[in-house]
Amino acid sequence: MRTPRISNAIIKRLPVYRRYLGQLQRQGVKKISSNELSAIIGFTASQIRQDLNTFGEFGQQGYGYSVDYLFGKVNEILGLDREYKTVVIGAGNIGKAIANYTYYYKIGFNIIGIFDANPAVIGTECNDVIVQDIEGLREFVEANNVDVGVICVNRENAQAVADLLVDAGVSGIWNFAPIDLEIPKSVALESVHLSDGLHTLSFKMKSISESK
């Protein structure tokens, strides 16, 4: 399916639809209305209908959506109907956590290489993948047509690693370093800012405490 032009807001909501639809599948639910989805997800029913209509006709008025069909379609829209060759740079706690996560939940991002600059870490194993010297990163990415690089190094080294990954030809970067990377528009970038979530949490705590 070719993707229509859609807003950043929908792009952020699509993974949320996928997550809840996956939960419904695991619970054995077959059909769901936009009102029922709304009650679970928290978006309004009209928002949900509007979002899904952006991509085609997935349900019939009054009959609801097939959970399996919709889950498959959302996967397709998100580009999750294929696998991505992925490398992790930085074999510290975050790097290993990501490698374990993608391995354990089998989410289509296959970690085929892990790289680090620390001699004490090079040669150790993580889910049957041996940590390699970062000196070999560029050659590995080029030789294996790696799709995605996951940056788990510190703030100081993150931009240099990103530049190298871009030069070597990756299509996407998933960044965990607390820095805003500069990346050409031809490469997709998604950054996880852990502090944002923590600050949202403190805001919510403050609001609850003031309302008591």
Smallest gap from Cβ 125 to a second copy, in A, equals: 14
Smallest gap from Cβ 179 to a second copy, in A, equals: 9
Residue 198 interacting with a second copy (CB under 8 A): yes
d(CA 126, CA 89): 13
**Any idea what DSSP says for residue 4?**
P
Smallest gap from Cβ 6 to a second copy, in A, equals: 9
Closer to a second copy by Cβ: residue 2 or 63: 2
d(CA 9, CA 143): 36
Residue 190 interacting with a second copy (CB under 8 A): yes
Smallest gap from Cβ 56 to a second copy, in A, equals: 16
d(CA 138, CA 135): 8
Smallest gap from Cβ 47 to a second copy, in A, equals: 13
Given its phi and psi angles, is residue 57 left (phi above 0), alpha (psi -120 to 50 degrees) or beta? beta
Residue 96 interacting with a second copy (CB under 8 A): yes
- List the one residue from 65, 71, 109, 115 that touches a second copy (CB under 8 A): 109
Closer to a second copy by Cβ: residue 134 or 170: 170
Dihedral over alpha carbons 149, 150, 155, 159 (to 10 degrees): 10
Closer to a second copy by Cβ: residue 28 or 62: 28
Smallest gap from Cβ 98 to a second copy, in A, equals: 8
Rg of the chain on CA atoms, in Å: 20
d(CA 59, CA 31): 10
Site map (CB under 8 A) of a second copy, residues 141-180, x = contact? ------xx----------------------xxxx---x-x
**Chain-centre distance of CA 191, in angstroms?**
9
Residue 30 interacting with a second copy (CB under 8 A): no
**Any idea what DSSP says for residue 96?**
H
Residue 18 interacting with a second copy (CB under 8 A): yes
Q: Site residues for a second copy, window 76-95 (CB under 8 A)?
A: 77-80, 84, 92-94
Closer to a second copy by Cβ: residue 64 or 178: 178
Closer to a second copy by Cβ: residue 63 or 105: 105
CB count within 10 Å of CB 86 equals 23
**Chain-centre distance of CA 63, in angstroms?**
31
User: Which of 22, 28, 41, 35 has its CA nearest to residue 61?
Assistant: 35
